[in-house]
């Protein structure tokens, strides 16, 4: 229904999150929409509503309670919710996404208030298209889908993982202006192997062990093709799939479907941007860097694959580029002859003696250390000291989410390196005071990359998402880091500028789409205006 031609009235108007303005409905609107008597008499502008919202939010002591409060606001008054998120992004984003979303997912069934998004299950096999057609909107532009098997660093959370697509899409709206009604979170419920949930009477997902093998891939295949039928212009973002499945699905669909995996490619883009920016502080040339990873899952190898492409663009051959990228896992340095490694690890098996983590740092002397383990405290004091001994300004990324899973804290990194480290983390850490100096840690959050990628591909109508788009996005993000940011030790721009950052990434990505002839039309002269005009602005 077109709400402009057939506006909602009465309680239906107040109960529609996208239409509702609450106490901001004017006298004329109250008459027009039959709201007289249904609201307090005073008309309150948006600015006062924001003030009241912030006062109520800040009154709550527990972050989970704040998450519940904001979810309720989103369900009641969408525009007010997004205005608060945009205007107070540094305060609110950690509440609607990492780190709070991790705890919210763990407790999702117990916190449940109302359904959000869609649930596709193994019981829907053969009928997924019909299920998707139950969604009330057809103009879907972005779908974030998870199967809940590897939520952040928390593992198998089953159907509780729906909180991740919900949170990610809130960031698409707030940070890149994708209209809310064009966003669809989807939970692909194939069961769970989490015994606690299987025995929890409040759990809301299928109470069966996970479907796997051909049956699993057949279900996903039906889902993908059903999406392309029902929502033909939708970008599909794969989120928090187990590493083997994540790579298998990305490799199967990436050249035929508008899709990407944020854990592999989004994380890679934001990490590459941070590495680019770090060289402006360390003074190293990007092509001369040696980079070591702790962890060899989808996030780490995704970063390495994109770094390999970037190093080749910098003039190195592929073998030379791979020789600068080293991996350590729980068994030590990944070298030739190691058994039991997955296919995505094999390109990084170097001809070197097997070493433990500390010895590998001392032998290889990497300038950059990237953690993507999901295991807390793995960047110990010995690790930070080793990196500091072989570098004047070591760069360390503790990327695992949520905060409880970070490889080390910002305080530990600065103290153990005696203030030498260039530091970024996946979840936010406050500024650190050390020996009279204030250090501001960067947050290597994928929110710097995926909203802009989505916006750029939507406006340009790209048929697929290429690896080159992430290289373009990473370079543009690094360019947005100001000298003022660098002087504070930051290798990412302030989150307060995220909508402008997303716009510039979208513009760069869209230009790349036209330049590489992904679409059969020339770049329109008003491309900048088209992107600006498309971006949702939550005002009354």
Measure the CA–CA gap between 484 and 488, rounded to whole angstroms. Answer: 7
Q: Which of 33, 97, 253, 414 is an active site residue?
A: 97
Catalytic residue among 66, 106, 141, 168: 168
φ/ψ (deg, to 5) at 529: -65, -40
Cα angle vertex 381, ends 302, 420, to 5°?
80
Bridging pattern class, strands 437-439 and 432-434: antiparallel
Tell me, yes or no, if 88 is annotated catalytic: no
Closest residue by Cα to residue 540 from 20, 182, 9: 20
Q: 221 CB contacts (<8 Å, ≥6 apart)?
A: none
CA nearest to 320, candidates 296, 284, 352, 289: 289
Helices (H), 77-182: 78-87, 89-96, 100-106, 108-111, 128-132, 163-176
Classify residue 6 as exposed, middle or buried by CB count within 10 Å of its CB (0-12, 13-18, 19+): exposed
Do residues 518 and 463 lie in contact, with contact meaning Cβ atoms separated by under 8 Å?
A: yes
Active site residue 108: no
For helices 78-87 and 46-59, what crossing angle results, to 10°?
70
- For 362, other C-beta atoms within 10 Å of its C-beta total 13
Dist. CA 134–CA 186, nearest whole Å: 13
Contacts of 55 (CB under 8 A, 6+ apart): none
Known catalytic residues are: 97, 168
């Amino acid at each position: 229904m077109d709400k402009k031609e057939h506006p909602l009235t009465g309680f239906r108007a107040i109960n529609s999150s996208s239409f509702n303005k609450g106490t901001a409905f004017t006298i004329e609107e109250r008459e027009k929409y039959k709201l007289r008597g249904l609201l307090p008499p005073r008309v309150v502008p948006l600015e006062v509503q924001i003030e009241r919202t912030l006062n109520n939010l800040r009154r709550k002591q527990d972050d989970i309670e704040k998450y519940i409060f904001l979810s309720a606001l989103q369900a009641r008054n969408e525009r007010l919710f997004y205005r608060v998120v945009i205007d107070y992004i540094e305060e609110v984003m950690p509440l609607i996404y990492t780190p709070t979303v991790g705890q919210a997912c763990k407790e999702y069934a117990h916190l449940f208030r109302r359904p959000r998004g869609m649930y596709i299950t193994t019981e829907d096999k053969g009928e997924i298209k019909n299920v998707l057609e139950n969604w009330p909107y057809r103009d879907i532009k972005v779908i974030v889908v998870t199967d809940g098997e590897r939520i952040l660093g928390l593992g198998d959370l089953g159907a509780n993982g729906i909180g991740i697509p919900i949170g990610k899409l809130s960031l698409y709206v707030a940070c890149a202006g994708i209209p809310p009604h064009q966003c669809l979170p989807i939970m692909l419920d194939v069961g769970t192997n989490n015994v606690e949930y299987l025995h929890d009477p409040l759990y809301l997902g299928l109470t069966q062990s996970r479907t796997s093998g051909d049956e699993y891939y057949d279900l996903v295949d039906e889902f993908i093709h059903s999406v392309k039928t029902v929502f033909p212009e939708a970008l599909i973002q794969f989120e928090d799939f187990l590493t083997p499945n994540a790579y298998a699905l990305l490799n199967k669909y990436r050249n035929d479907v508008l899709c990407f995996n944020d854990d592999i490619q989004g994380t890679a883009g934001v990490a590459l941007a941070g590495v680019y920016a770090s060289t402006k502080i360390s003074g190293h040339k990007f092509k001369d860097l040696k980079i070591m990873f702790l962890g060899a899952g989808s996030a780490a190898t995704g970063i390495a694959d994109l770094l390999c492409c970037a190093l080749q663009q910098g003039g190195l051959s592929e073998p030379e580029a791979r020789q600068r990228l080293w991996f350590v896992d729980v068994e030590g340095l990944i070298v030739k002859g190691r058994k039991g490694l997955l296919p995505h690890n094999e390109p990084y098996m170097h001809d070197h003696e097997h070493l433990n983590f500390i010895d590998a740092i001392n032998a290889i002397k990497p300038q950059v250390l990237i953690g993507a383990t999901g295991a807390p405290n793995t960047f110990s004091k010995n690790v930070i000291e080793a990196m500091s001994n072989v570098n004047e300004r070591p760069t360390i990324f503790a990327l695992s989410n949520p905060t409880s899973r970070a490889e080390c804290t910002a305080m530990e990194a600065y103290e153990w390196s005696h203030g030498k480290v260039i530091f970024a983390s996946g979840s936010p850490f406050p500024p650190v005071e050390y020996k009279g100096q204030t250090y501001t840690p960067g947050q290597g959050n994928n929110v710097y990359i995926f909203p802009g990628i989505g916006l750029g591909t939507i406006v340009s109508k790209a048929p697929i998402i290429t690896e080159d788009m992430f290289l373009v996005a990473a370079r543009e993000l690094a360019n947005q880091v100001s000298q003022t940011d660098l002087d504070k030790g930051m290798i990412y721009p302030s989150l307060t500028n995220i909508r402008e950052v997303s716009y510039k990434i979208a513009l760069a990505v869209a230009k790349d789409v036209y330049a590489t002839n992904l679409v059969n039309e020339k770049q329109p002269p008003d491309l900048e205006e088209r992107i600006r005009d498309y971006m949702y602005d939550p005002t009354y």
